[in-house]
A = this chain, B = another copy of it.
Amino acid sequence: MYIMTFKVYLAGPEVFLPNAKEMLAVKADLVREAGFIPISPGDLEIPKADTRFEHGLNISAVDEKMMLEADAIIANLTPFRGVAADTGTTFELGFMCGQGKHVFAYTNVKSNHFNRLMEQCDNSALPDDTGRYRADDGIAIENCDMIDNLMLHGGVIRRGGSVVVGDAPADEIYTDLRAFKECLALAKKKLLATD
């Protein structure tokens, strides 16, 4: 069956967690159970480097190579270290969109982009003359009923991918896998239809 050769790249902030290896192993197992081949950062040995900067370049090279080999990405866009998704993950989602691969995303935070930004500015933003919300500093707040910047959510939806919104308890937003499982099931449905 052709689908058994589909490779799914797992993007997300899991790589930074204290239990990164376990988290990625569990996600990889779920991908295998769904009938795909998982690929994720951390799977490959990073070549030794003389400097921190070169070490960063080497990881970038390895991760990009994995994405080139992958047929699809499932991006964890749960807000990380602030109001928005991890920038490494958003880069990778863009990369896979640019490559024309299958793209899927999820978040474990129910509050959408607009509501999180409103919370960040203490709900001080008001609509301007054109109806666009702006905070006290004049900076506009996107109001598109999307989970993050419209390029991310829009890029996935416009390619026929799914964006799953979970609602994990505050202390489990990086470990709860319910939204990931739902996203994986939707990915399987789409990839089978493509098959």
Contact = CB atoms under 8 A, between A and B. Distances in A.
Interface of A: 15-18, 20, 51-53, 55-57, 59-61, 63-64, 67, 81-88, 90-99, 117, 120, 134, 137-146, 148-155, 157-158
A97 to B, nearest CB: 6
Contact of A56 (B140, B141, B150): B150
Contact of A120 (B81, B96, B154): B81
25 contacts: A16-B141, A18-B138, A18-B139, A51-B145, A53-B144, A56-B142, A56-B146, A56-B154, A57-B157, A57-B158, A59-B150, A60-B153, A61-B154, A64-B97, A81-B83, A81-B84, A81-B139, A82-B84, A85-B87, A90-B90, A91-B91, A91-B152, A92-B151, A93-B94, A94-B95
Contact of A82 (B51, B56, B81): B81
A146 B92 contact: no
A52 B146 CA distance: 9
